[in-house]
Amino acid sequence: MAPQPRSAQLQIRVTPREKARLKRLARAAGMDLSAYVLSRALPPESERLAGLLEALRRQGDRRFALAEFDEVLSALSAADFPLAVESLDVTRLDSLTQNQVAAMVEQAAAQRQAPPPAWTRDVVALERPWFATDLKALRLHLLRASPVVFRRRNLFVDAGIGSRV
């Protein structure tokens, strides 16, 4: 995804001491002040996740985008997780994909002992059960093996975040 040209400005008021500290932190990170503040306010992980949501919206076969979403979520530290997921917008996704993404984020939050972002509460659980396979012989296994956050959303999968086979 190519970077968007920047044409808008944002001004914030800080004390001279805060500005000096921000400049020192930016210099230590090898960045200019604007790049440093922007990287802290909008970490690259949140942009990557937002790009993957756009790919999920456009693609017919979503398995690869969901797998990459899983990889990014799994790699997030407990400190980076809240900022990376707090402003994800799933409203343009179909209901199944909204629930899959919400369940993945909720499970990642639970693994980090962090609260899930508020937007996950707005995603309405599926009315009918969805199984990760059409093989009826495996459905009983999926009913038992699915992580709780997925079951609450009527999604039945073999494993959750970070445990792809």
pLDDT tens profile 52-103: 999 898 877 788 889 999 999 999 999 889 989 999 999 999 999 999 999 9
pLDDT value at 26 more than 70: yes
Name the band, by pLDDT with cuts 50, 70 and 90, for residue 9.
Answer: confident
Q: Cα(37)–Cα(104) distance, rounded to whole angstroms?
A: 29
Token pair for residue 104? 């993945």
Looking at residue 119, the DSSP 8-state letter turns out to be G
Q: What is the rounded average pLDDT of the residues 4-20?
A: 86
Name the band, by pLDDT with cuts 50, 70 and 90, for residue 135.
Answer: very high
pLDDT at 160: 59
What residue type is assigned to position 41 of the chain?
A
Domain ranges of the chain: 44-156
Q: Cα(12)–Cα(160) distance, rounded to whole angstroms?
A: 41
Share above pLDDT 70 across residues of the chain, in percent, rounded to a whole number? 93
pLDDT at 165: 38
Token pair for residue 138? 């495996």
Q: In terms of C-beta density within 10 A (0-12 exposed, 13-18 middle, 19 or more buried), how is residue 121 classed?
A: exposed
Q: Cα(29)–Cα(23) distance, rounded to whole angstroms?
A: 10
Q: In terms of C-beta density within 10 A (0-12 exposed, 13-18 middle, 19 or more buried), how is residue 47 classed?
A: middle
Q: Cα(57)–Cα(53) distance, rounded to whole angstroms?
A: 6
Mean pLDDT for all residues in the chain: 88
Token pair for residue 25? 């932190």
Q: Catalogue the E-assigned strands of the chain.
A: 130-131, 155-156
Please, how many CA atoms are within 13 Å of residue 53, restricted to the half-sphere of its CB? 24
Name the band, by pLDDT with cuts 50, 70 and 90, for residue 40.
Answer: confident
pLDDT at 161: 55
Instruction: Report the range of poorest mean pLDDT among 1-5, 114-118, 128-132, 142-146.
Output: 1-5
Q: Is 32 helix (H, G, I), strand (E, B) or coil?
A: coil
Q: Cα(98)–Cα(120) distance, rounded to whole angstroms?
A: 9
